[in-house]
Structure 1
Amino acid sequence: VSLLNKRESFTADHKPLMGEAPEVRGFFLGCGFNSAGMMLGGGCGKELAHWIIHGRPEKDMYGYDIRRFHHSLTNNNRWIRERSHESYAKNYSVVFPFDEPLASRNMRKDPFHQVLQEQGCVFQERHGWERPGWFNRDGPAPILDYDYYSAYDVPKNNDYKYSEILGKEYTFDFPPHHYVIRDECLTCRNAVAVFDMSYFGKFYLTGPDAKKAADWLFTADVNKAPGEAYYLAIGGGVAQHNWSHIQAVLQDQGFCCTLIDHTEDMGMISIQGPKSRELLQEVLDSDLSSDAFPFSTHKIVNAAGHKVRAMRLSFVGEMGWELHIPKESCLPVYHAVMAAGAKYGICNAGYRAIDSLSIEKGYRHWHADLRPDDTPLEAGLAFTCKMKTSIPFLGRKALEAQKAEGLRRRIVCFTVDEKVPMFGLETIFRNGVPVGHLRRSEFGFSIDKTIGYGYIRNPDGGVVSPDFVRSGEFTLERMGVTYKATAHLKSPFDPENKRVKGIYG
């Protein structure tokens, strides 16, 4: 028997660090393999070589991409020390669907944090931000300093309410507060809910070549007059990755423009539901009718005496507006919204509700429904691509070739009538033959069914056409048990998109 004692590295999320460093172009990393280098080395080495030569890996390597960490965290020794310790401490722990770290918390807090915590907010950590997960009815559950699980003579946190709540999440069944998330979802569907989305990245793209850069970077037609600015609101978990990607493209293409980060300077709340227009008409000094303020438009308006950017958008499938608010105005605007909304039955809601509401509507989540190795055509997002124009954009040639050849895989929505929890990675069978797996699954409270999305392939290698989907009988396997599933080519909830346009009844 031989024993080897050595130092070993553990990264903050127990995954390797790979890809081009955000700080230095051409400097690539392939390290931090968490005592699994022998297992991961071959495949990671192959992908890293492809990455260096072609500028991107061949497979989905986003989970290992160094750009998944925000620079404020990688420059923070406390964050690195605490999170890497917990990564090691939980090395062999069972990975439950809704686990959250206890280490390195409260690193990035938005202006609404304290008032939401007082109302029972159970926070999730994303990209260093504390974002609302859901709202506990038993009072505040503040997050305490990391206790290293009582190692190194650090006193253990006793009577730690947040940790106790997380412990109840450690299940592969519906969690005990399933009904709380249900109520947040149904309040949004039937009245109005407010979501704090301040963790979003908020960038401005400006300069003489801003239009050229936007045309090349974005698949959609975002035609603007030359020299104008573009405001980009990007999901907080992928903000650093987007920032690095955009900066690299600007440099490689030689565009004369600048990307400016205003994430920390602004907050963002989203007011959604059939009562959102009536509520906001009392708070905003602008006509919110569909003629005056159509879906997918924005205006600078006054909200309770404070200037904000209002966008008529929705990620939950309801009529609603996002308010992008200067930091110092966030709380006055929030309190005005909540006061006006009291008679409409307004509630705070979190991202667990967003997950359910968005999957009902078929809105895609990054790195679940959408990964770097998926195309907009496969993901059912062809409408976001300016293919009917002659404007070139990054990836256009690949999409044109795929469109001509036909899709060899396609994302499909599945519903299960039995009330069984699913979380993603469940196998999809068509006529008894495995054809893919779910990328994401949630319970849809409005339709009262489990919903999942996954990409399917034709076992014969042929095109996956709509008829191929319609003609199959599908089942999903969860923990060795198969469940009959119904396949949908359109969203099972409001497939005609009436609600986001304000058409109810």
Structure 2
Amino acid sequence: MDPTEHVPEQAGTVIVGAGIVGCNLAYQLTQLGREDVVVVDQGPMPTTGGSSTHAPGIMFQTAEPKELSQFADYSRRLYSDLEGADGQQAYNEVGGIEVARTEERMDFLQRRVEHAKAWGIDDPQLLSPEEVTEHLPLVDDEQILGGYYSPTDGQVSGVVACDALAREAIDRGATFVPHTRTEDVETADGEVQSVITERGAIECDDVVIATNIWARQLGEKLGVHLPVAPVEHQYTMTESLPELEESAVDITDHPLFENYENVSGEKAKRLLVGPDRPILRDQDNAMYFRTHGDAYGIGSYNHEPIVPDPQDLGGNDPDGEQGSVHEFTEQHMNTATHPDRPDKAPRQASDELLPATDGANLDFKYNGMFSESPNGLPILGPVEQYDGLWTATAIWVTHAGGAARALAQWMETGVPKLDGEPMDLAHCDVNRFDDHEGSWDFTRDIGAEEYRIVYNVMHPKWVWTENQRDVRRTPMYHSHKELDAELWAEAGWEEPQWFESNADLVETYEDQIPDRDEWTGTYWSPIEGAEALNVRENVGLHDMTSFNKIEVVGSDAGAFVQRLCTNDMDLAVGDVKYTLMCNEAGGVRADITVTRTDEDRYLLLTTGREVGNNHVAWVRAHSPDDVVVNDVTSSLAAMVCTGPNARKVLSEVTDVDLSDEAFPFFSSQEFFVKNVPVRALRVSYAGELGWELYTPSEYGERLWEYLLDAGEAYGLRPYGNGALNALRIEKGFRLWGQDLHTEHDPYEAGLGWAVDLDTDFIGKDALSDSVAAVADGGAPSQQVACLTLDDESETILPHRPVFAPDGDEALGYVHSAEYGYSVGACVAYTYLPPAYAEPGTEVEILYEGDRYDATVREEPLA
């Protein structure tokens, strides 16, 4: 590459950080035609001294989060097309093998196969111990029960890839400026103005923070509290091993060697050598392995979390010290310090699995850093507080190519895309976080927790149980505790999943609640089913305070709401309407209910959990100057009273006429429940007769108590999120972030009835084109499908592949699934090619190694 020491005075886009993320982003932006891209870094180039410099570059593509697998698959293909400085392909496609030492891990590897098939990873395979050793002869097959093999996994050197990406970006006009520390970002009136470096300012329109472990420091200067935690893990390389002597390589003539050695020292002789056999993971011991010529590299997460304070990291010193590398801590390799693995030291585990390393010296040893986020996913996108400020952090080499492509598309078109198709990044969006998550206490503790579990067998419903709990309490929290609620953390809120006080209901409904196997029944209670059935038969009360609530106020509020929403939003005061918000490509950005509460005032109600803040940021980002957008989530307690007896319960505590004539569906009124002021909406996510009730937070607990007392005579019970999910899926109500998101347009999602093309809204042009294409004889590539398992006693979990009967190619995957207690079957939602989405079509779902027969049904089911 050909960097320059000259700091330009102006640029269209400045990327701070020239590691694997920054180089990928510069490559992608220039490929899309963006001019005036400048990349600045405190270190030399391409060996900046960040995580990309010390990372061994292993690339396992399969992960349960679809986003990570998509990013990794794209990265693999991109790196395979790159030519390194030595003229060789940058990517080493040697395959990857994950081994199991326990039956629990073998079950996990079966899930690996299923996720790979769901996400489109090529040719996933389960191997016997003997088949593992055919690929990796140095593995002791008596130590393992089998393995998962992904033939297209492999390795890429971060330094080689950075150099290749930067060279191509430079050829397309990008400028790379090394040895230049970024000190601040100057803003004015909520917009980026310039990047302040130690050698001068660069005026610009866009700034991207792509500094990974250093991202938090720069964000703090702007008052943007990025929850990025640097964490340490160990990497070592053995001395030359006789068993690998035929693989010895002299890399000192590589064009990048001198540059690499200047930053990394002698270990560059090993790090720059690619593997010649599959990379290896021993996740039962939180370790991974790859060859470096005639030596083995040993990576270990198998120690207690080490989370340095970002303020203590410093930069890359002129004498060659890497800011992303700390001194090797011997006790973490030779002593069992991991809280979940107290019985075996990492070195012992390594020597057992690879006897060739037993007794070998470790020539190069260091603690290398990478960054963690609270949910283990990247932090991407436009920062809500400042126009022109973007983030691309908490990203590994494995995922950097795909993440940068999606972000570049986002920056250029307003829509994240990969391989030309829209990609939903709700769970990666920088705006997903709540205020408490920006604190260093929270970031540190949850970063450590994410590090601890990185190689653990984790259930998809798992939530942390000790660190950073009881952060946000709804007004009904103490009542929930008195009723022995099973509380889970959702976006910091302590939310009931079920109530142990309802255990007596299980006997009443036990014949309608099938047992579940050990894995599917983890983090589940039959009480969920009993609560759901009680709602259908009697009445229930649910705390929905955590759902995001947005108030839009101003003389142009009505026009703005219409611009946001796909439906006709010409509402009278008191009207409620279900509608969608779409992005520019017509993907569903949110589904919401909108209530006109006054002439110039609207209340928007949308999904909570960890994606709800994305909707708040979206509304704010599009609001005109004369409209005020307030997040009123915390200021309003919310609950829903729903079920056949809901009207009877409410009639005990208010004199308001609740009849269908006086209080029709999709209408709103303000009144008192005894002495508590409420706004009531005649809607219910459970699908029964019901009212959502909103009141200032200080009244919430009293309102809850009034309703519990009034409902006792009518069979009212509180119910949790587990029952709510069963209730809503039976009724065909979508859950944004699971079975509805930006990869679907309203017509594909079966929600075309919520679109009025005679109005003007964001995404209308794209949706009009879709309608026109269908009118001309075209067909959507996918269509929502409601499935039920044919075996009424079985239940599955999401994210497993769907096949035609006896088919080998996945047609789609299960987006959400839950047992429908009223319909007597497990209900699953997926998106399939239209020919397979027709009711009555038979399909199969691969789950935990077995194929389950399922049938497409007319919706709603209940």
Question: What amino acid maps onto 1:423 in structure 2?
Answer: L
Contact residue 272 and residue 319 of structure 1 kept, 8 A? yes
2:368 is paired with a residue whose SS is coil
Give 3-state SS (helix, strand or coil) of 2:486's partner.
strand
Q: 2:822 is matched with which residue?
A: 446
In the TM superposition, what is the alpha-carbon distance from 1:137 to its structure 2 partner? 4.1
**Alignment partners' CA distance in 2, 1:193 and 1:315:** 12
Match 2:708 to one of 338, 349, 367: 338
Q: Do the aligned partners of 1:96 and 1:170 also contact (CA within 8 Å) in 2?
A: no
> What does residue 292 of structure 1 align with?
662
Pairing 1:373–2:720 present: no
Asked if 1:16 is matched to 2:386, the reply is no
- Once residues 379 and 646 of structure 2 are traced to their aligned partners in structure 1, the CA distance between those partners, rounded to angstroms, is 43
1:38 aligns with 2:397: yes
Using the TM superposition, give the Cα deviation of residue 48 of structure 1 relative to its aligned residue in structure 2, in angstroms. Answer: 1.3
Say whether residues 1:27 and 2:389 are aligned partners.
yes
The Cα of 1:136 is off from its aligned counterpart by: 2.1
The amino acid of 2:532's aligned partner reads C
TM-score of the superposed pair, with normalisation by structure 1: 0.85
Q: Give distance in 2, aligned partners of 1:227 and 1:306.
A: 24
CA shift in 2, pair 1:196/1:471, >3 Å:
closer
Say if 2:570 is the partner of 1:208: no
Question: Quick one: which of 831, 842, 848 aligns to 1:455?
Answer: 831
1:400 alignment partner AA: S
Mapped partners of 2:390, 2:473: distance in 1: 31
**Kept in 1: contact 2:567–2:759 (CA 8 A):** no
Would you say the 8 A contact 2:783–2:837 is kept in 1? no
- Give the counterpart of 2:846 among 473, 477, 485: 477
> Does the 8 Å contact 2:462/2:523 carry over to 1?
no
2: CA distance, partners of 1:270 / 1:450:
25
Say if 1:414 and 1:241 are closer, same or farther in 2 by CA, change over 3 A: same
Verify the 8 A CA contact 2:637 2:696 in the aligned structure 1.
Answer: yes
Q: Residues 46-125 of structure 1 correspond to what in structure 2 (within 5 A)?
A: 46-58=405-417, 59-70=423-434, 72-102=435-465, 103-125=467-489
Q: Which residue of 1 aligns with 2:761?
A: 393
Of 234, 242, 248, 2:621 maps to 248
Larger mean Cα displacement after TM superposition, 115-124 or 402-411: 402-411
Question: Which residue does 1:220 correspond to in 2?
Answer: 567
Q: Is the 8 A contact 1:193 1:272 kept in 2?
A: yes
Instruction: Please state how far the C-alpha of 1:395 moved relative to its aligned partner.
Output: 0.8
Once residues 631 and 402 of structure 2 are traced to their aligned partners in structure 1, the CA distance between those partners, rounded to angstroms, is: 35
Alignment partners' CA distance in 1, 2:800 and 2:377: 23
Q: Summarize the Cα distance change of 1:377–1:384 in structure 2 as closer, same or farther, 3 Å threshold.
A: same
1:116-265 to 2 correspondences below 5 Å: 116-137=480-501, 171-175=518-522, 178-224=525-571, 228-237=600-609, 238-250=611-623, 254=624, 256-265=626-635
Assess if the C-alpha contact under 8 Å between 2:550 and 2:633 holds in 1.
yes
User: Counterpart amino acid of 2:680?
Assistant: A
Q: 1:338 to 1:391 in 2, by over 3 A?
A: same
Q: Is the 2:805–2:842 Cα contact (8 Å) retained in structure 1? A: yes
Please state how far the C-alpha of 1:127 moved relative to its aligned partner: 1.5
Once residues 337 and 384 of structure 1 are traced to their aligned partners in structure 2, the CA distance between those partners, rounded to angstroms, is: 33
The SS at the match of 1:117 is helix
Name the CA distance, whole Å, in 2 between partners of 1:425 and 1:234: 24
Q: Judging changes above 3 Å, is the alpha-carbon distance between structure 1 residues 249 and 171 closer, same or farther for their aligned structure 2 residues? A: farther
For 2:711, what is the secondary structure of its paired residue?
A: helix
Distance 1:115 1:297, change over 3 A: same
Whole-angstrom CA distance in 1 between matches of 2:839 and 2:523: 36
SS in 2 for 1:424: coil
The structural deviation recorded for 1:64 is: 1.3
Quote the Cα distance in structure 2 between the aligned partners of 1:170 and 1:63.
Answer: 29
Match of 1:429 among 792, 803, 828: 803
Give me the whole-angstrom Cα distance separating, in 1, the residues matched to 2:538 and 2:837: 39
Structure 2 residue aligned with 1:160 = none
Cα distance per residue 1:222-254 (max 9 Å; x no partner): 21479511011222223311111111111xxx4
Map Cα deviations across residues 41-63 of structure 1 (whole Å, 9 max, x no partner): 11111111111111231112222
Q: 259, 264, 277: which one pairs with 2:647?
A: 277
* Fraction of identical pairs, as percent: 27
2:502–2:527 Cα contact (<8 Å) kept: no
1:180-203 deviations in whole A, cap 9, x for unaligned? 111101110000010000112222
Q: Report the 3-state secondary structure (helix = DSSP H, G, I; strand = E; otherwise coil) of the residue aligned with 2:744.
A: coil
Aligned-partner Cα distance in 2 for 1:123–1:62: 24
CA RMSD, Structure 1 to Structure 2 (Å): 2.0
Which residue identity is paired with 1:244?
A
**Which runs of no fewer than 5 residues in structure 2 stay unpaired?**
1-237, 239-363, 418-422, 504-515, 573-597, 775-779
CA distance in structure 2 between the aligned counterparts of 1:73 and 1:170, rounded to whole angstroms? 37
1:362 maps to which residue? 732
The secondary structure found in structure 2 opposite 1:271 is strand
String of CA shifts for 1:414-458, please: whole Å, max 9, x gaps: 00132222111222223443311110101111112111000002x
How far residue 473 of structure 1 moved from its aligned partner, in angstroms, is 2.5
Secondary structure of the residue aligned to 1:60 is coil
Letter in 1 for 2:483: Q
| The 10-residue stretch of structure 1 (325-334 or 274-283) with the greater mean CA deviation from structure 2 | 325-334
Shift of 1:96: 0.6
In 2, the alpha carbon distance for the partners of 1:328 and 1:176 equals 32
Pick closer, same or farther for the CA change 1:117–1:199 going to 2, 3 Å: same
Structure 1, unmatched stretches of 5+, are 140-168, 458-463, 494-505
Contact 1:209–1:227, Cα closer than 8 Å, also in 2? no
How many angstroms apart in 2 are the aligned matches of 1:176 and 1:47?
34
Query: For the residues of structure 2 that align with 1:365 and 1:64, how far apart are their CA atoms?
Result: 17
Structure 2 residue aligned with 1:349, among 707, 716, 719?
Answer: 719
Q: Could you give the per-residue CA deviations for residues 198-224 of structure 1, whole angstroms, max 9, x where no partner exists?
A: 112222101111111101101122214
Query: 1:311 and 1:366 mapped to 2: Cα distance?
Result: 20
* Count of paired positions: 448
- Cα 1:208–1:170, aligned 2, differ >3 Å: closer, same or farther? farther
Q: Which amino acid aligns with 1:416?
A: L
